[in-house]
Chains A and B, each alone.
Chain A
Amino acid sequence: MSMIWCGGEDIDFLQGQAPTIQTSSSTFRSAYARCGINNPPGSGSFIKSDQFTAQTSCWLSCQFAGDMGDLTGRQPYQNVIGFGQFSSQNCLSIGGNPSNGQKVTLYKYDGTTWTQLAAEGGASFVSGVHRFDIQLISYGSSATVNVYCAGVQIITFTGDVSVSGMSNTDCVVMGPLNTNGYGVTSEIMVTSDDSRAYLGLATLAVNNQGTTNDWTNNTYTNINGINYSDANPTFSNTNGQDQQYEMNTLPSGSFAIPAVKISARSALGAGSAVSHLQLGYNSGGSVGFGSGSTKSPSGAYANLWQLDLTNPVISSAWTISDVNSLQVDLRAET
């Protein structure tokens, strides 16, 4: 029972339209994240996460900022976030309600038709940053969906949540919208265990070069933008070369760290002598790579990600001291 996927920056959500980045500190928890994301302007705007292993039962958690009150009366719904199908716009989502934009509503969408499944009695899409958790049990014709705001259950629905052609969920979606981009989402996590037990998702940005710096053009500011840019990448065409970077530290406090994830937007140049990128860590002076950490970048930039539930350098659970001294390691390989 554990983390399936997590993210919160632009490179994690480039499978549909490119998201808009919000850096106003009132729209996300600045101790955890350095930005929030929202849909680009325009009716029908739709953004989608990287694909993860298909699930029929899981939890989706996020922080959301946005008063949806002024959307009252607009048709159809205003999708905030939901379980999506990577190959389409099919989804099972929460969003605003036409009768009251602040009323959290559960619906399913098949790319054309919106079907309302349930709506909360209260009104939770109000100003401020709020935590939402959505539990999906047995996606299909006899599913159960529970929605929580700030830990309080606001919706429970049992019945048919199925959408034609969609048999599970393998991505997170935001949209489509019925008006301009609205609301800011951050700290997005998909878990197989109860997401309400997670305090949040800390984003650790690159803040310096590391111990080993074999790659070319490796100045850390080339790769640590809140908004990604492909104009000035670091690169290596030599097998076994490592490029390490120091990272920001965690929020202060006492907590467990059930997962660490690396997102690396990467591509392979023409005529390369190498063909793989391995995503790992320098932890305590030793380098290690987790299972499945060897990635195959293509000729076009895409986000490659590696999720490690334990520290692969020491084969033990992550600790605060591990992460606070962690360096990410990029290794070029044939």
Chain B
Amino acid sequence: MAINTGANVSKEVTYAALTSPEGVDTSKVVVYAATGLPPGDHTSKVVVYAATGLPPGDHTSKVVSYAAVGLHPGVNTSKVVLYAALQAGSIAPTSSLAFMWAS
């Protein structure tokens, strides 16, 4: 399995399996991506577990992938709300305001 080890990968851990006539098997790979990513697809975590004692060939027993939320270059805004303070005068009474005056 190809693992992107570019600038966005903050941690990679590889455990080598001990039993394989074809060479080294990867029994576990864990990749965590840093925050502050550029746009696009990013994998923040990949976990691969391979069984031991396998016949020749590629084997993957489990893959877990989480997609990170990346920031786009530039200013990103995810929520906007505006408040207006009201003072003096009066507001037309409505049912939803009744408790204001009752309290």
Q: Hey, which chain A residues are within 8 Å of B75, CB to CB?
A: 235-237, 266-269, 272, 274, 276-277, 297, 330, 332
Residue B38 is within 8 A (CB to CB) of chain A in the complex:
yes
Q: Given contacts A202-B86, A256-B86, are A269 and B72 in contact (CB under 8 A)?
A: yes
Contact with A along B60-103 (1 / 0, CB 8 A): 00000000011111111111111111111111101011011011
Q: Report the bound CA distance from A332 to B72 in whole Å.
A: 13
Residue B50 is within 8 A (CB to CB) of chain A in the complex:
no
> A200's contact among B76, B81, B86, B99, by CB below 8 Å, is which?
B86
Q: Report the bound CA distance from A330 to B99 in whole Å.
A: 36
Q: Hey, which chain A residues are within 8 Å of B85, CB to CB?
A: 3, 6, 189, 198, 200-202, 257-261
Q: Given contacts A237-B74, A245-B80, A332-B75, are A269 and B36 in contact (CB under 8 A)?
A: yes
| Chain A residue nearest in CB terms to B88 | A256
Identify which of residues 36-86 in chain A touch chain B, using a CB-to-CB cut-off of 8 Å. Answer: none
> B88's contact among A9, A199, A204, A269, by CB below 8 Å, is which?
A199
Q: Report the bound CA distance from A262 to B81 in whole Å.
A: 6
| Chain B residue nearest in CB terms to A6 | B83
Q: Distance (Å) between the CB of B88 and the closest chain A CB? A: 5
Q: Distance (Å) between the CB of A59 and the closest chain B CB? A: 12
Residue B35 is within 8 A (CB to CB) of chain A in the complex:
yes
Contact with B along A179-198 (1 / 0, CB 8 A): 00000000001000000011
Residue B37 is within 8 A (CB to CB) of chain A in the complex:
yes
Q: Report the bound CA distance from A29 to B35 in whole Å.
A: 38
Q: Report the bound CA distance from A133 to B90 in whole Å.
A: 19
- Please count how many residues in chain A sit with their CB below 8 Å of the partner chain's CB atoms: 83
Q: Given contacts A204-B83, A263-B83, are A273 and B90 in contact (CB under 8 A)?
A: no
Binds B, one of A16-24, A111-119, A220-228: A220-228
Q: Are B83 and A247 in contact (CB under 8 A)?
A: no
Q: Report the bound CA distance from A326 to B84 in whole Å.
A: 11
Identify which of residues 217-272 in chain A touch chain B, using a CB-to-CB cut-off of 8 Å. Answer: 222-225, 228-238, 243, 245, 247, 250-272
Q: Are B81 and A203 in contact (CB under 8 A)?
A: yes
Residue A314 is within 8 A (CB to CB) of chain B in the complex:
no
Residue A211 is within 8 A (CB to CB) of chain B in the complex:
no
Q: Given contacts A131-B100, A204-B81, A261-B82, are A256 and B87 in contact (CB under 8 A)?
A: yes
Q: Are B91 and A264 in contact (CB under 8 A)?
A: no
Q: Given contacts A205-B81, A223-B78, are A272 and B73 in contact (CB under 8 A)?
A: yes
Q: Distance (Å) between the CB of B6 and the closest chain A CB? A: 13
Q: Given contacts A3-B85, A11-B81, A31-B96, are A271 and B103 in contact (CB under 8 A)?
A: no
Q: Are B91 and A253 in contact (CB under 8 A)?
A: yes
Q: Report the bound CA distance from A149 to B84 in whole Å.
A: 22
Q: Distance (Å) between the CB of A266 and the closest chain B CB? A: 5
8 pairs of A and B residues whose beta carbons are closest in the complex:
A237-B74, A253-B91, A269-B71, A255-B89, A254-B89, A233-B76, A233-B78, A235-B72
Q: A233-B77, A257-B85, A259-B84 are in contact. List 6 more A-B contacts (CB 8 A).
A: A128-B99, A229-B78, A251-B91, A256-B86, A273-B73, A332-B74
Write 25 A-B pairs (CB below 8 A) sorted by A numbering: A3-B85, A29-B99, A129-B99, A129-B103, A203-B82, A204-B83, A206-B80, A224-B79, A228-B78, A230-B76, A235-B72, A236-B74, A255-B87, A255-B90, A255-B91, A257-B84, A257-B85, A258-B85, A258-B87, A269-B73, A270-B37, A273-B74, A299-B36, A328-B80, A328-B82
